[in-house]
Amino acid sequence: MSRALSSRIVRPLALTVLAAAVVGSLAVPGTARASAFQLHEDSVQAMGRAYAGMLTAGGDCSVVANSPASMSLLTGGCFQADVTGINFSAKFTGQAHDALGRPISGGNGGDAGTTIPVPALYWATKMGDKWHLGVGFTVPFGFQTKYDRDWMGRYNAVKSKFQSLDATVSLSYDVTDNFSLGLSAIAQRTSAELTSAINYNAVGMGLVQKGVAAGLIPAAQAPALLQQFGTVVPPGSDGMARIKGDDWAYGWQIGGLWRLTDNDRLAINYRSKIEHTISGTANFTMPANVKALLSTPTVQGLLAASGGVPFQHTTGTAGFTTPAVADVSYWHETQNFGIGLELAWTKWDVFKELRVDYGNPVQPPTVEEFNWRNTWYAAVGGDWYVNDRLTLRAGISVDTTPTHVSTRDPRVPDSTRKIAAVGVGYQFSDHLRLDASYAHIFVGSAHVSKATSSTGDTISGSYEDYGNLLGVAVQYTY
């Protein structure tokens, strides 16, 4: 490599710009795209009705985590274990190009969806005539997408895995025969793992352009420098970034249940937001030609003068908030049928931006804007009591997305969902009950408009998404 390439490309920008530009969007900001990962799948009974009447139908121990006031509908103690398999498909069709408009090699990434189990476990008991106590373990937020490592959008995302685990302790009190209050304390552990490719060719090109803009490189020399750098670090000179972190934080929920008549019930519940500071590590790989560039004496001296070496294993922290949720539920019951309505509001607009701070001083803080929207979930469904032992269920719902075309990207290629569900319950004895439910999620096309990585690599196109849910639950009452 010529001396001109070493001194004129690296010196003017001291390579810190490279670290700041690339590492920022590859690290924890991707976690915020997990904010569309809300999971309703913690009650197999309710899933059979598309979650209509989830808080008010009765006979479901999942109210421990979803509506503590509704524990007053449980006539005694209960244990309940639920598990729901989520199969989600996301297939991309489109194109990608780098900051210079050159097409990026690679395919469409395959099916980025996955199949994951979502478990839930509950225990509740009655204490005296008016008090109920319950403990629940649930997964209220979680998602995973994974693309082929060499796909065209690899600089935006390869793997995204996000999960929140809740431990909930709930207490309810029957204020009157027709009204109950409930309160919960929530301990939440949130973890994230994210990987993306690093476009070192684009990084070098960007350094030259920034040097010209800053007046540190004569504009007449830029074409030759770009050609020289492109020879040493051509397109496809990729590395990988892997970010992993977690945090514990705490929240609460409060609600009320009204027995309007002998056949009608209404519940209102509010769950608080939970604020995290996610701490973790960032690990990076480099191709041989980039390692050779960084190991030259000229570059090493410049890196030492600028305060350190970029793309080294380091620590990082970022603030992240799981949103508040308000839920209203209604249930009307007759001798042979039960009909439910559900309306939930999720305050996703807490995601205005996300700031990431790094342990390596060469990598300055980065800020990414999101400006997500609040969402609504609406459902109608019901039960048919075929006899004393057999119950059949069905329901439909609509779940809007916080993302829109200007903010959607490959990590969470989500759009508004429509759900159709069916279920069955069978009472084997006075104490043992089995429930099973199936739901199909209709998503359709989710458009991505110019999702851009920190190195200027842009992907545009659309996703065809759908999902299937299959759950089983066992309940033992005493």
Least confident of 221-235, 326-340, 352-366: 352-366
Report the share of the chain in percent with pLDDT over 70.
Answer: 89
Instruction: Output the pLDDT for position 10.
Output: 38
Question: Residue 162 forms beta bridges with which residues?
Answer: 143, 192
Least confident of 211-225, 367-381, 440-454: 211-225
Question: What is the SS3 assignment for 194?
Answer: strand
Residues 162, 189 contacting (CB under 8 angstroms): no
Residues 89, 475 contacting (CB under 8 angstroms): no
Instruction: Output the pLDDT for position 176.
Output: 96
Instruction: Output the pLDDT for position 435.
Output: 98
Of the pLDDT bands very low, low, confident and very high (cuts 50, 70, 90), residue 298 is low
The whole-angstrom separation of Cα 6 and Cα 28 is 32
For helices 222-232 and 200-213, angle between their N-to-C axes, nearest 10 degrees: 160
Among candidate residues 333, 288, 290, 337, the one with its CA nearest the CA of residue 309: 290
Instruction: Output the pLDDT for position 46.
Output: 97
Angle at 274 between CA 474 and CA 245, to 5 degrees: 90
Of the pLDDT bands very low, low, confident and very high (cuts 50, 70, 90), residue 366 is low
370 vs 312, residue with greater confidence: 312
**Amino acid in the structure at residue 240:** M
Instruction: Output the pLDDT for position 425.
Output: 98
106: left (phi over 0), alpha (psi -120 to 50) or beta: left
For the four alpha carbons of 426, 428, 429 and 431, in that order, the dihedral sign comes to negative
For the segment 92-135, what is each residue's pLDDT rounded down to a tens digit?
Answer: 999 999 888 899 999 999 999 888 899 999 999 999 899 999 99
For the segment 157-195, what is each residue's pLDDT rounded down to a tens digit?
Answer: 999 888 899 999 999 999 999 999 999 999 999 998 888
Q: Which residue has the tokens 């796909």?
A: 151
**Amino acid in the structure at residue 472:** V
**Mean pLDDT estimate for the chain:** 86
The predicted model scores a pTM of 0.86
For the segment 33-90, what is each residue's pLDDT rounded down to a tens digit?
Answer: 223 578 888 999 999 999 999 999 999 999 999 999 999 999 889 999 999 999 999 9
Instruction: Output the pLDDT for position 21.
Output: 33
For residue 138, give the H/E element and its range. strand 131-146
Of the pLDDT bands very low, low, confident and very high (cuts 50, 70, 90), residue 259 is very high
Question: What is the SS3 assignment for 429?
Answer: coil
The whole-angstrom separation of Cα 39 and Cα 332 is 26
Reading the block at residue 411, the tokens are: 């990590």
Instruction: Output the pLDDT for position 123.
Output: 98
Instruction: Output the pLDDT for position 299.
Output: 65
Q: Give the mean pLDDT of 427-435.
A: 96
Instruction: Output the pLDDT for position 36.
Output: 59
For the segment 232-253, what is each residue's pLDDT rounded down to a tens digit?
Answer: 889 889 999 888 899 999 999 9
Question: What is the SS3 assignment for 28?
Answer: coil
* Residue 278: other Cβ atoms inside 10 A: 22
Residue 449 backbone phi and psi in degrees, to 5: -115, 100
